[in-house]
Amino acid sequence: ERLVALLASMGVRDLRLTGGEPLVRRDFPRLAAMLTAIDNLSEDARKAMAEKAKQVAILGAGMIGEVHRRAAVLAGAEILGVMASSPERSREVAQAWGVEQAYGSIEEVAESKAEVVHICTPNASHVRYAVALMEAGKHVLCEKPLGVSLEDAQLAAKAAEDAGVVNTIPFTYRFHPMT
């Protein structure tokens, strides 16, 4: 009930994802933890983020992509565009999210004005996308896992260091009480 109230306060009219799939109960703990973390940002953190809206692109249009989009918006970011599983799906989601750009490829994202890119795609694509984006000067927030092997994670860390950008993963408190 608290999650439903929190979602309603954020403008969610029903519990469906962008693609129309209904949220199911097993999704609630993870989603609730993410929303709670956003809700609990300190006032100083909110002010610092609001000083300059970050321009963000989202890779992935599933449930986690939607969560990242909402989190970025709540943090004061401007969502420039989305890249989904196909150019057609990117256009559908861009229209549903009310964003300008539907990216058809990782190269388009790398060439975009986005300062920060959220990677919410299947695990095997994380490092490939992250490295390409960091080499283009983008900061990356990559869903877990950072890589599917130690070598992948080390490659991503080196790419971030070489490019002088941030490569991070979101951290939520599993089993964090929602009181």
Q: What was the pLDDT predicted at 69?
A: 93
Pairing between β-strand 55-59 and β-strand 78-83 as defined by DSSP bridges = parallel
For residue 20, give the amino acid letter: G
Given this model, what pLDDT does residue 172 score? 61
**Side-chain half-sphere of 25: how many Cα atoms within 13 Å?**
1
Helix (H, G, I), strand (E, B) or coil at 120: coil
d(CA 36, CA 91): 30
pLDDT at residue 96 in the model: 94
Write the CB contacts of 67 (distance below 8 Å, at least 6 apart in sequence): 31, 34, 35, 120
Per-residue model confidence (pLDDT) at position 115: 94
Bond prior to 122 in cis (omega within 30° of 0): no
Hey, is 22 helix, strand or coil? strand
| Phi-psi sector, 58: left (phi>0), alpha (psi -120 to 50), beta | beta
Report the pLDDT value the prediction gives residue 51, as an integer from 0 to 100. 60
Task: Identify the pLDDT of residue 177.
Answer: 53
Using DSSP's 3-state secondary structure scheme, residue 119 falls into strand
* Per-residue pLDDT, 179: 41
| pLDDT reported for residue 155 | 93
In sequence order, the 6+-apart residues with CB closer than 8 A to the CB of 160 are 134, 140, 166, 167
Per-residue pLDDT of the chain (179 residues; tens, 9 = 90+): 555 555 555 555 445 444 445 554 455 565 665 555 555 555 665 555 456 668 999 999 999 999 899 888 888 899 999 999 999 999 999 999 999 999 999 999 999 999 999 999 999 999 999 999 999 999 999 998 888 888 998 999 999 999 999 998 887 655 555 54
Q: Alpha carbon of 8 to those of 11, 12, 13, 14, 35: distances in Å?
A: 5, 5, 6, 8, 12
Q: Which two tokens stand for residue 138?
A: 């983008």
Look up tokens 């992948």; give the residue: 152
Find the helix or strand (DSSP H, E) in which 78 lies. Answer: strand 78-83
Instruction: Please tell me the pTM assigned to this model.
Output: 0.69
Structure tokens at 124: 């095997």
Q: Which pLDDT belongs to residue 18?
A: 45
